[in-house]
Structure 1
């Protein structure tokens, strides 16, 4: 079971909802029940058939699996067990076109699909969508486990039909890509152009976090910059500068091109990650640059 699964279950338990946990690796369920879920009302199941046998009708099944074929495979296993009115909820990061297709396929089977953000133990922002008939059945649970703002208003409401929730989350996550790129560029300028020391950069980010730039990303950047290893040395300079990505940036950029929406910062953030991942090529180019001896009117020789 991934940490997102565990956090979502514990969140529901904390809100007095009884949850039945299932994982294809049965030992992970046993370990969870013996550790984080010990002393709670969470129950486990050894199979999908056993899991649904422990649920009240209409069944409300939330699953978090890797986007793509794994989602299709799980739904295919689950559908034969469902009755009209049962609800399945894809809580992962599925590509919105896949969610649209799944919603349309499942309408004939009487099952609703609601795509939304993965769970978090202390209050996620949730974006439920799918068949509108589903909302009254899941509203209490979703708004109960969602983060709260102001006077207690939940960060959760019905977003729209079919794949709207996954589309919103896709764009939301990739706006964050743009924010991260801006932070990386600021770090690059401070370190490589201004020659600022690590502790000085920490102070700069902490100062920014006291202004209108106050944000979670600025806050954790300062914490990352100041973090030291067991030797008392800053850890960040020792980490390989090769970023990865899971594909949502590509989805967002392709969708923007299809809909003629200029998301230039998000696109550049995606390409920056592509460039960052080419670590060996960047090293080789750096060595070539070091060997380059400028000659007047002859370029490098």
Structure 2
């Protein structure tokens, strides 16, 4: 099997080595000649350079490929993707060829490109998670598009991807650009889980006075059971790292958190679709709040510093609360994926989506089996529900910030306890005559139900 790869940055280089190691013949190109030389050198060291061909231009790449061609793009999202596609058309790709955008492109761009290039070649998308390490040794791969071009390359990508219990973490999750939407939501869940772990750390460190080593030990204990996950494991490792003078590394790091945009896209698309994912949105805003001083509203968002209060936390209750909150972050993401799938008629398979997340990716966790069981599993977690309520209350009493923890408790409470929406809708009708709906299903106005002599002015 022969595949081409355009883009030999960190992800491209490592994916290239993975592809070659798994037995594919690879034709690779990067506009920076040094990137190609670096890849060739690494391939020689690992003993499989005979399956690698570095080319100096895209025309040479297209000439070398057997038809129908399969070309992967790992270039920065945006205009560069279209630039490369146009150059490949000029180089001779045809309607039977498949070009797969494997970068972090916005799914809306993928939809537009599929239409734009439909008479030139088959355009498909694939989200890849796992970072450089995953790309090299087996990432999670969330592909999408029509079956045509994928049929000939799926068997090889199933080998290139990570595997869990003998099953590949590659899947064609749905149609059109759903692969990039799924990867976007994967990143939104990632934001929420990272922030949630940081909030648990914050509560233990400043609210309870625990040391970094004590918190790392607690995370290790949790990881021995059903809460084992990649993000919890790396958090524990980070907390154990010390500088040469024995200062905890985490205490040397500036508090500002960066972002590349996929978390923001998740929040924006959830709002556009009208699907509530408050934990995922709160995680994005939490990062924004760490960068307040760099915004044009810095002056208006600067207040006097306050001291947090000490709180007593039941560690077993904290574990249960973290467990439920983690599950709910995933469930919010899956609801968003399913809602988008129905809206765009993508036919996304959630079981296949979860399978891609079981290994190789950043949000892999042992409790994905519980998430796959659906809301019924969560409905049985009565002790965890009480724990989440109690821990959220204790956290707020500390005076510290817990955006994802609080948002997750609010999300679950809103869906499982009586709502206060009836008063808000009454307010809307009072000042704007937007209408109300009674429990009997009647649509009317306040004035249809009661006489109002004079409204408040």
Normalised by the length of structure 1, the TM-score is 0.89
Asked if structure 1 preserves the Cα contact closer than 8 Å seen for 2:94 and 2:121, the reply is yes
Does 79-88 or 31-40 show the bigger shift? 31-40
3-state SS of the aligned residue for 1:159? strand
1:129 is aligned to: 144
Query: 2-side partners of 1:26 and 1:4: how far apart?
Result: 17
Where do 5+ consecutive residues of structure 2 fail to align? 1-7, 307-457
Asked if structure 2 preserves the Cα contact closer than 8 Å seen for 1:66 and 1:92, the reply is yes
Query: 2-side partners of 1:230 and 1:279: how far apart?
Result: 31
The answer to whether the aligner puts 1:57 opposite 2:67 as a matched pair is yes
Where do 5+ consecutive residues of structure 1 fail to align? 291-301
Question: 1:211, CA displacement in angstroms?
Answer: 2.6
Query: 1-side partners of 2:282 and 2:185: how far apart?
Result: 15
1:298 is aligned to: none
Query: 1-side partners of 2:18 and 2:261: how far apart?
Result: 28
1:67 is aligned to: 77
The answer to whether the aligner puts 1:48 opposite 2:48 as a matched pair is no
Asked if structure 2 preserves the Cα contact closer than 8 Å seen for 1:89 and 1:113, the reply is yes
Question: 1:99, CA displacement in angstroms?
Answer: 0.4
3-state SS of the aligned residue for 2:139? coil
Question: 1:44, CA displacement in angstroms?
Answer: 0.5
Asked if structure 2 preserves the Cα contact closer than 8 Å seen for 1:143 and 1:156, the reply is yes
1:201 is aligned to: 215
The answer to whether the aligner puts 1:90 opposite 2:97 as a matched pair is no
Deviations 1:251-299 (CA, angstroms, capped at 9, x unpaired): 11111111111100000000001111235659x946x437xxxxxxxxx
Query: 2-side partners of 1:191 and 1:279: how far apart?
Result: 24
2:255 is aligned to: 241
Deviations 1:183-211 (CA, angstroms, capped at 9, x unpaired): 11111111111111121111111112123
Does 90-99 or 54-63 show the bigger shift? 54-63
Counterpart of 2:184 (choices 131, 146, 170) is 170
3-state SS of the aligned residue for 1:261? coil
Question: Comparing both chains, which one has the higher relative contact order based on Cα–Cα distances under 8 Å and sequence gaps of 6 or more?
Answer: 2
Query: 1-side partners of 2:126 and 2:257: how far apart?
Result: 28
The answer to whether the aligner puts 1:101 opposite 2:117 as a matched pair is no
Question: 1:236, CA displacement in angstroms?
Answer: 0.9
Asked if structure 2 preserves the Cα contact closer than 8 Å seen for 1:241 and 1:279, the reply is no
Query: 1-side partners of 2:233 and 2:213: how far apart?
Result: 15
Query: 1-side partners of 2:127 and 2:68: how far apart?
Result: 20
Does 10-19 or 115-124 show the bigger shift? 115-124
What is the Cα-based RMSD across aligned positions, in Å?
1.9
Asked if structure 1 preserves the Cα contact closer than 8 Å seen for 2:9 and 2:35, the reply is no
Question: 1:104, CA displacement in angstroms?
Answer: 1.1
Question: 1:37, CA displacement in angstroms?
Answer: 4.6
Query: 2-side partners of 1:35 and 1:236: how far apart?
Result: 33
Query: 2-side partners of 1:32 and 1:135: how far apart?
Result: 26
Deviations 1:159-199 (CA, angstroms, capped at 9, x unpaired): 22211111111111111111111111111111111111121
Query: 1-side partners of 2:291 and 2:80: how far apart?
Result: 26
Deviations 1:138-161 (CA, angstroms, capped at 9, x unpaired): 2122112111122x2211222222
Question: Larger C-alpha radius of gyration, 1 or 2?
Answer: 2
Asked if structure 2 preserves the Cα contact closer than 8 Å seen for 1:7 and 1:121, the reply is yes
1:294 is aligned to: none
* Matching of residues 145-294 of structure 1 within 5 Å: 145-150=160-165, 152-279=166-293, 281=298, 285=302, 288-289=304-305
Question: 1:17, CA displacement in angstroms?
Answer: 0.5
Query: 1-side partners of 2:152 and 2:128: how far apart?
Result: 18
Query: 1-side partners of 2:127 and 2:58: how far apart?
Result: 22
